[in-house]
Chains A and B, each alone.
Chain A
Amino acid sequence: QVQLQESGPGLVKPSQTLSLTCTVSGGSISSGSYYWSWIRQPAGKGLEWIGRIYTSGSTNYNPSLKSRVTISVDTSKNQFSLKLSSVTAADTAVYYCARVVYGDYHDAFDIWGQGTMVTVSS
Chain B
Amino acid sequence: DIQMTQSPSSLSASVGDRVTITCRASQSISSYLNWYQQKPGKAPKLLIYAASSLQSGVPSRFSGSGSGTDFTLTISSLQPEDFATYYCQQSYSTRPFTFGPGTKVDIK
Given contacts A52-B94, A105-B50, A106-B53, contact A46 B44 (CB under 8 A): no
**Residues on B close to A: CB < 8 A?**
1, 30-32, 34, 36, 42-46, 49-51, 53, 55, 87, 89, 91, 94-102
Count how many chain A residues have C-beta atoms less than 8 Å from C-beta atoms of the other chain: 25
**Residues on A close to B: CB < 8 A?**
37, 46-49, 52, 60-64, 96, 101, 103-110, 112-115
| Cβ-Cβ contact count across A and B, 8 Å cutoff | 67
Is the CB–CB distance between B96 and A62 below 8 Å? Answer: yes
Bound form: Cα–Cα A104–B94 in Å: 15
Is the CB–CB distance between B96 and A49 below 8 Å? Answer: yes
Is the CB–CB distance between B49 and A106 below 8 Å? Answer: yes
Q: Which chain A residues lie closer than 8 Å to B87 at the CB level? A: 46-47
Give the residue of A48, A61, A64, A107 whose beta carbon is less than 8 angstroms from that of B91. A107
Given contacts A105-B32, A107-B91, contact A49 B98 (CB under 8 A): yes
Sample of 16 A–B contacts (CB below 8 Å): A46-B101, A49-B99, A62-B96, A62-B97, A63-B96, A103-B50, A105-B30, A105-B31, A105-B32, A106-B49, A106-B53, A107-B91, A108-B49, A108-B55, A113-B43, A114-B42
